[in-house]
C-alpha cells in the first residue's frame, strides 16, 4: 500500500503562493484573519449573562480601606438607613501542612477572626472575605485580593547601575491563536502595534493543550521529561521542579504566579499543585476560595464571575495592583487567563476593552518604560466548527505571542533587538521563550559583544534558542523538536475517505484510542461512525520512487458520545504508529466524569 496512496486522485490542500513565514527550513502558508472559510464563525457572543449584582456592589475598596456603599442597599431591597454590619475576615495559606500527601494540599486555607465594621475598615491583609448582615441574615459577600509588599528578597541582585534589570510580565490568554487575537481583540492589538510590540508569526505549539506547552516555556523541558526531572508520578506535587521564576528570584526579583481559575489551573486540573508557595505572590489560594463561595455564571467548564466581577477583570486588577506595590523593586510574574477564552472562539471579544484599558494604564503609569511584557497563548481553539477547516487546524497550532520591549531596549541592546526583529518570521516554539527568559535573568548576556560571540557558536541544533540570537533560516520542525502532528510547515494532500488506506489508518487510530482508555472499565469502547477526512502530510517535494515512511492526518467520528478525534499516523512497511498525541475537536462536557487522568478525559465516554 506504500505507493498506492500517491496514485489516488487528490487535491493539494495548500495552493497559496504567499506565506506567513518562508524560510529554507519551513514554509507556513499565508493566513488571513477573515478568510472566507472561517468568516462565518466570527460573531459577537450572544446571551452571555452578566455577573450577579453587576454594577451594584455593596462594598468598594481603595488601596487602604474597604467601605460600605449604603446607597447601593436599594439593590438588595434594603433601606439606605438600615442597620447593616459587615464582617472582615482575612484568609491565608498556612505554612504548616497536616498531610503533604493530601489531595487538597494546595487548597489548604485558614481564616482569621471576624472584625466587624459599619462604615469602613483599614486593609491589613493580602486576601479578605467580607460578609454583610442585615437582621441576622448574611445577604452579601465579597472577596478582595490586595498586594502588600512582602519581606525583602534574600538576594537583592546587587547594584542595578552595574547589573540592570527589566521587569518581566508574562500574560497568557488561553486558547487564542495569533489570528483569533487579531479578530477578537482588535483594540488590544492596535495598542500593542502602537507601542511597536513584536509579533512572532511562526510561533508553533509543541503539544496538545495548555500543560505540554507551558512546561517547555517555564522549565525548558518536555512534559515527558518531568518524570525523571521532578514529577515522578501523577500524585506528586511540582515543588521540586526548576521553574524559570526560581532563576529570577535567585537574582533578586520578586516573583508572582496567578491564574483566574483554580479548578482549571495548569498545575491543579487533575493534578496536585504545590505544597510550598511556588512564588512570593501566589494567587491560587484566593481564586480557590472565591470560586467556591463567590463563583457564579458557570459557562460550560468554569465560573466566569466572582461576585459582580468577571474573573479575568479580577486578574487584571490584581496585576495592576502588584505593579504599583512593587514599583521600586523588580518583578517576574506569570499570569494566565482561562475562564473567558478556554471554551469559545469569540469570547475574547468580551475582554478586549479591559485589556486595552489595562495596557494604557500600565503605560500611563510609566511601568512599561522598564518592563518586558509578553502577551501569549498556549494554542488556538481546539474544538468547534472552525477546527473542521484547513485554516482552523493551522491556527490551532499557531498561538498568539506579542513581545513588548521597553523604549530603551533597541538602543541599549541593538544586536539583540535586531535579532528578535528577524525572528518575527522564523519558526519558534515555547522552548525558545524559555531560553529568552534565561537571558533576561542576566542582561549582560545580551550586550552586543556577547551576542556577536554567541552567534558564532554552533547552536542551530538546540531545542531552545533565545529570541535574542538569530534563529537559523534552515530550522525545521525536527530541529525545533516539534512533532509532525503539530508542525505547520507541512503541505497536505487531501485523500479519499472511501479508500482502503483511509480505512486502515482510521482503524489504527480507533484501536489506539481504545487501548488508551482500556484500563478504565467505566469507559465505553469506541466504535467508528465515519471518517471525516484524511490528508497525506508532505514535507518538501517527494520524488517518484521515494522510499520511507508516509504520514497521514486522520479525523474520525466515534460512538458513543459523538466524539471527533484527530491524529497523525505513520506507516512504515505496513506497520502503523502514532506521531504525537490525539486531539479532540469537539467539547465533551461531563461525558468523562468517571476518568480523572487529565489526558484520558479527552477520550473517555463513561458508561
Q: In the 3-class helix/strand/coil scheme, how is 330-376 assigned residue by residue? A: CEEEEEEECCCCCCCCCHHHHHHHHHHHHHHHHHHCCHHHHEEEEEE
For range 388-395, the mean pLDDT: 88
Strand partners, 571: 550, 576
Gap between the Cα atoms of 82 and 76, Å rounded: 11
Q: What is the mean pLDDT of the chain?
A: 91
Residue 548 DSSP label: S
Residue 33 falls inside a structural domain: no
Q: Are residues 120 and 176 in the same domain?
A: no
Q: At what angle do helices 352-364 and 186-194 cross, to 10 degrees?
A: 30
Residue 121 falls inside a structural domain: yes
Strand partners, 145: 127
Dump pLDDT digits (tens) for 561-573: 999 999 989 887 8
Gap between the Cα atoms of 2 and 17, Å rounded: 29
Lowest mean pLDDT among 226-230, 281-285, 354-358, 544-548: 544-548
Q: What is the pLDDT confidence band of residue 159, given thresholds at 50, 70 and 90?
A: low
Q: What is the CATH number of the domain that holds 542?
A: 3.10.450.10
Beta strands in 135-212 (DSSP E): 137-145, 167-173, 198-199, 202-203
Residue 97 falls inside a structural domain: yes
pLDDT at 545 over 80: no
Residue 367 falls inside a structural domain: yes
pLDDT at 158 over 70: no
pLDDT given for residue 598 in this prediction = 86
Residue 218 falls inside a structural domain: yes
pLDDT at 176 over 80: yes
Instruction: Name, in order, each residue with C-beta under 8 angstroms of 388's C-beta and a sequence gap of 6 or more.
Output: 532, 555, 585
Triad 255, 219, 209: Cα angle to 5° = 105
Nearest to 537 by CA among 522, 554, 513: 554
Q: Are residues 171 and 140 in the same domain?
A: no
Q: Are residues 181 and 302 in the same domain?
A: yes
Dump pLDDT digits (tens) for 340-382: 999 999 999 999 999 999 999 999 999 999 999 999 999 999 9
Residue 409 buriedness (CB in 10 A; 0-12 / 13-18 / 19+):
middle
Domain final position from 438, 455, 472 = 455
* CA quadruple 97, 98, 103, 107: dihedral, nearest 10: -50
Gap between the Cα atoms of 325 and 302, Å rounded: 30
Nearest to 38 by CA among 172, 184, 165: 184
pLDDT given for residue 573 in this prediction = 80
Dump pLDDT digits (tens) for 487-523: 999 767 889 999 988 999 999 999 999 999 999 999 9
- pTM for the structure as a whole: 0.86
Q: Are residues 524 and 379 in the same domain?
A: no
Q: Are residues 280 and 419 in the same domain?
A: yes
Q: Are residues 320 and 264 in the same domain?
A: yes
Q: Are residues 263 and 182 in the same domain?
A: yes
Dump pLDDT digits (tens) for 434-479: 999 999 999 999 999 999 999 999 999 999 999 999 999 999 999 9
Please provide the distance, in angstroms rounded to a whole number, between the alpha carbons at the two ends of the chain. 37
Gap between the Cα atoms of 491 and 259, Å rounded: 37
Residue 9 falls inside a structural domain: no
Q: Are residues 439 and 502 in the same domain?
A: no
pLDDT at 8 over 60: no
Q: Are residues 281 and 378 in the same domain?
A: yes
Using DSSP, state whether 249 is helix, strand or coil: helix
Domain final position from 455, 481, 509 = 455
Using DSSP, state whether 190 is helix, strand or coil: helix
Using DSSP, state whether 259 is helix, strand or coil: strand
Dump pLDDT digits (tens) for 116-135: 999 999 999 999 999 999 99
Strand partners, 403: 198, 374
- What's the structural domain count of the chain? 3
Instruction: Name, in order, each residue with C-beta under 8 angstroms of 66's C-beta and a sequence gap of 6 or more.
Output: 59, 60, 88, 117, 120, 121, 123, 128, 130, 144
Q: What is the pLDDT confidence band of residue 18, given thresholds at 50, 70 and 90?
A: low
Residue 542 falls inside a structural domain: yes
pLDDT given for residue 17 in this prediction = 42
Using DSSP, state whether 70 is helix, strand or coil: helix
Domain final position from 432, 455, 478 = 455
Q: What is the CATH number of the domain that holds 185?
A: 3.40.720.10
C-alpha cell at 301: 467548564
Q: What is the pLDDT confidence band of residue 156, given thresholds at 50, 70 and 90?
A: low
Using DSSP, state whether 507 is helix, strand or coil: helix
Which domain range does residue 370 map to? Answer: 167-455
Q: Are 308 and 290 in contact (CB under 8 A)?
A: no
pLDDT given for residue 242 in this prediction = 98
Q: Are 168 and 372 in contact (CB under 8 A)?
A: yes
Q: Are 189 and 349 in contact (CB under 8 A)?
A: no
Q: Are residues 451 and 495 in the same domain?
A: no
For range 385-405, the mean pLDDT: 92
Q: Are residues 387 and 532 in the same domain?
A: no
For range 156-175, the mean pLDDT: 79
Dump pLDDT digits (tens) for 225-257: 999 999 999 899 999 999 999 999 999 999 999
Strands 254-259 and 281-282: parallel
- Transcribe 428-451 into DSSP letters: E-HHHHHHHHHHHT-GGGGSHHHH
pLDDT at 5 over 60: no
* CB hemisphere CA count around 83 (13 angstroms): 2
Gap between the Cα atoms of 379 and 2, Å rounded: 33
Neighbours of 541 (CB within 10 A): 7
Residue 250 falls inside a structural domain: yes
pLDDT given for residue 544 in this prediction = 54
Cis amide prior to 236 (ω within 30 degrees): no
**In three state form, how does the secondary structure of 550-561 look?**
EEEEEEEEEECC
Lowest mean pLDDT among 16-25, 32-41, 387-396, 450-459: 16-25
C-alpha cell at 312: 479575568
Amino acid at each position: 500500500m506504500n505507493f498506492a496512496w500517491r496514485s489516488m486522485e487528490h487535491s493539494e490542500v495548500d495552493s497559496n503562493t504567499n506565506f506567513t513565514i518562508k524560510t529554507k527550513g519551513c514554509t507556513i502558508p499565508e493566513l488571513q484573519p477573515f478568510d472566507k472559510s472561517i468568516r462565518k464563525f466570527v460573531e459577537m457572543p450572544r446571551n452571555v449573562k452578566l455577573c450577579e449584582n453587576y454594577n451594584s456592589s455593596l462594598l468598594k475598596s481603595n488601596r487602604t480601606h474597604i467601605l460600605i456603599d449604603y446607597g447601593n442597599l436599594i439593590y438588595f431591597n434594603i433601606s439606605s438607613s438600615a442597620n447593616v454590619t459587615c464582617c472582615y475576615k482575612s484568609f491565608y495559606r498556612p505554612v504548616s501542612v497536616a498531610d503533604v500527601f493530601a489531595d487538597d494540599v494546595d487548597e489548604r486555607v485558614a481564616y482569621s477572626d471576624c472584625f466587624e465594621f459599619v462604615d469602613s475598615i483599614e486593609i491589613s491583609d493580602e486576601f479578605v472575605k467580607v460578609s454583610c448582615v442585615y437582621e441576622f441574615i448574611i445577604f452579601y459577600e465579597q472577596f478582595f485580593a490586595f498586594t502588600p509588599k512582602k519581606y525583602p528578597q534574600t538576594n537583592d541582585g546587587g547594584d542595578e547601575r552595574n547589573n540592570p534589570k527589566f521587569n518581566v510580565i508574562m500574560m497568557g490568554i488561553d486558547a487564542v491563536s495569533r489570528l483569533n487575537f487579531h479578530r477578537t481583540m482588535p483594540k488590544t492589538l492596535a495598542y500593542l502595534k502602537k507601542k511597536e510590540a513584536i509579533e512572532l508569526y511562526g510561533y508553533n505549539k509543541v503539544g496538545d493543550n495548555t500543560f505540554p506547552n507551558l512546561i517547555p516555556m517555564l522549565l525548558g523541558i518536555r512534559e515527558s521529561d518531568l518524570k525523571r526531572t521532578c514529577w515522578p508520578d501523577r500524585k506528586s506535587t511540582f515543588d521540586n521542579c526548576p521553574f524559570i521564576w526560581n532563576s529570577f528570584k535567585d537574582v533578586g526579583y520578586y516573583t508572582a504566579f496567578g491564574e483566574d481559575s483554580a479548578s482549571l489551573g495548569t498545575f491543579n486540573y487533575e493534578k496536585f499543585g504545590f505544597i510550598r508557595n511556588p512564588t512570593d505572590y501566589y494567587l491560587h489560594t484566593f481564586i480557590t476560595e472565591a470560586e467556591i463561595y463567590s463563583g457564579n455564571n458557570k459557562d460550560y467548564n468554569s465560573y466566569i464571575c466572582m461576585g459582580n466581577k468577571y474573573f479575568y477583570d479580577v486578574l487584571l486588577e490584581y496585576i495592576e495592583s502588584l505593579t504599583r506595590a512593587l514599583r521600586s523593586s523588580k518583578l517576574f510574574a506569570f499570569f494566565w487567563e482561562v475562564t473567558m477564552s478556554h471554551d469559545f472562539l469569540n469570547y475574547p471579544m468580551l475582554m478586549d476593552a479591559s485589556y486595552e484599558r489595562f495596557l494604557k494604564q500600565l503605560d500611563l503609569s510609566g511601568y512599561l518604560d522598564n518592563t518586558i511584557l509578553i502577551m501569549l497563548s498556549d494554542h488556538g481553539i481546539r474544538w468547534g466548527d472552525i477546527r473542521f477547516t484547513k485554516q482552523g487546524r493551522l491556527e490551532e497550532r499557531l498561538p498568539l505571542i506579542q513581545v513588548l520591549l521597553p523604549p530603551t531596549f533597541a538602543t541599549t541592546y541593538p544586536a539583540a533587538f535586531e535579532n528578535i526583529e528577524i525572528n518575527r518570521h522564523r519558526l519558534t516554539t515555547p522552548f525558545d521563550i524559555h531560553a529568552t527568559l534565561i537571558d533576561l535573568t542576566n542582561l549582560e548576556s545580551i550586550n552586543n559583544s556577547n551576542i556577536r560571540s554567541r552567534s558564532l557558536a554552533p547552536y542551530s541544533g538546540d531545542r531552545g534558542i533565545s529570541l535574542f540570537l538569530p534563529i537559523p533560516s534552515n530550522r525545521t520542525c525536527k530541529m525545533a523538536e516539534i512533532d509532525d502532528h503539530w508542525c505547520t510547515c507541512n503541505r497536505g494532500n487531501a485523500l479519499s475517505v472511501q479508500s482502503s488506506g483511509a480505512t486502515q489508518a482510521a482503524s489504527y487510530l480507533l484501536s489506539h484510542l481504545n487501548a488508551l482508555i482500556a484500563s478504565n472499565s467505566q469507559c465505553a469502547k469506541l466504535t467508528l461512525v465515519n471518517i471525516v477526512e484524511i490528508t497525506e502530510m508532505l514535507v518538501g517535494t517527494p520524488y517518484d520512487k521515494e522510499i520511507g515512511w508516509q504520514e497521514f492526518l486522520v479525523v474520525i467520528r466515534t460512538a458513543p458520545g459523538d466524539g471527533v478525534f484527530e491524529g497523525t499516523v505513520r506507516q512504515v512497511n505496513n506497520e502503523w504508529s502514532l506521531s504525537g498525541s490525539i486531539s479532540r475537536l469537539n467539547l465533551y462536557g461531563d461525558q468523562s466524569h468517571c476518568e480523572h487522568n487529565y489526558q484520558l478525559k479527552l477520550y473517555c465516554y463513561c458508561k
